[in-house]
Amino acid sequence: MVDWLGRRTLVTGGSGFLGQQVVAELSERGCRDVIAPGHRAYDLVDGDATRRMLSDTRPDVVIHLAARVGGIGANRAHPADFFYDNLMMGAQLMHESWRAGIEKFVAVGTVCAYPKHTPVPFKEDALWNGYPEETNAPYGLAKKMLLVQAQAYREQSGFNAIYLLPVNLYGPGDNFDPLDSHVIPALIRKVVEAKERNLPAVEVWGTGRATREFLFVRDAARGIVAAAERYDGSEPVNIGSGMEISIRDLAGLIARIVGYHGQLAFDTTKPDGQPRRCLDTSRAEEWFGFRAQTEFASGLQHTVDWYLANRPRIEEAVTV
């Protein structure tokens, strides 16, 4: 078990959506020495920059959150970039952390690593039973290699690396850029704009039948830090809420929260992505006591409220 007092902890991607919450959670648990350098300081795709970061910061614990991420559209447009950048960041950072004698390495993967037709709820033992959904397979496989690497380094040299599989995240501070946002921020922005412009309908990608599970970002941070603190095993662990909702129902719920009364127009020429997505979260609860706390409608309301309050700044940043 990690005692945070006196531990120097490096959080890659620490200034991002999830990273900021992880840094806050570490602070609440008594970690007074947290380093969260930005991409401009160290480009982790570059091996020299990775080695320099570890030499400069000298951490005891590394929590690797940095990633190139995006929705279905971004993954389809840039599959090579999503594969290469994520593979190189993770593989080099874990290798150099091992070489530097890091005490513990927390690799944060993705639900996109699961096979396309995984039985619901997704159990960690099903992770290798097929190929991921095609629209985000390069990203999912690149992140999945962190599990292979963690288990190999643990077996050969006893390196304490763990691997977590968080489900789709949402919450205040999310990315609302229409070019690469995920489904919840994308829909919130579309619905808010449709209400303001009095549009008769909002376009939603796919049939609406696909399902997703969502985890409030603050809960995700709690789960990751709890695992970093209490879990030292080789097996992958899901981090989720255990709640499944269809894209149709999700869009309807967002419309009700925003107060939009137009139609939802489902564009069936666009991909659904993975047909269903919902995790078995029993392993996380049993092994390190994590269970999601935020009720989905409440978390969604917080996210809409945050977007409306921060919209001018968000839109200005997107257009720059």
**More confident call, 6 vs 286:** 286
Q: What is the mean pLDDT of residues 237-265?
A: 97
Taking the C-alpha atoms of residue 35 and residue 70, their distance in angstroms, rounded to an integer, is 25
**Banded model confidence at residue 74, pLDDT cuts 50, 70, 90:** confident
Q: Identify whether the C-beta of residue 239 lies closer than 8 Å to the C-beta of residue 215.
A: yes
Q: Identify whether the C-beta of residue 18 lies closer than 8 Å to the C-beta of residue 26.
A: no
* pTM of the predicted protein model: 0.94
Query: b/e per residue, 248-260, with b = 16+ CB within 10 A?
Result: bebbbbbbebbeb
DSSP strand pairing (237-239 vs 168-170): unpaired
Residue 72 has a pLDDT of: 80
Average pLDDT, whole number, for the chain? 95
Residue 49 has a pLDDT of: 97
Taking the C-alpha atoms of residue 267 and residue 295, their distance in angstroms, rounded to an integer, is 29
User: What percent of the chain is modeled with pLDDT above 70?
Assistant: 98
Choose the catalytic residue: 42, 114, 139, 260: 139
* Least confident window among 47-51, 69-73, 104-108, 224-228: 69-73
Residue 318 has a pLDDT of: 53
Judging by beta carbons within 10 Å of its beta carbon (0-12, 13-18, 19+), is residue 36 exposed, middle or buried? buried
Per the rule left: phi > 0, alpha: psi between -120 and 50, beta: everything else, 273 is left
Tokens of 42: 């160290």
Residue pLDDT, tens place only, 134-148: 999 999 999 999 999
DSSP strand pairing (263-267 vs 201-205): parallel
153 flagged as catalytic: no
Q: Identify whether the C-beta of residue 187 lies closer than 8 Å to the C-beta of residue 251.
A: yes
**Banded model confidence at residue 320, pLDDT cuts 50, 70, 90:** very low
Residue 139 has a pLDDT of: 95
**Banded model confidence at residue 317, pLDDT cuts 50, 70, 90:** low
Element (H or E) spanning 19, and its range?
helix 17-28
Residue 38 has a pLDDT of: 86
Residue pLDDT, tens place only, 177-234: 988 888 999 999 999 999 999 999 999 999 999 999 999 999 999 999 999 999 999 9
Q: What is the mean pLDDT of residues 140-161?
A: 98
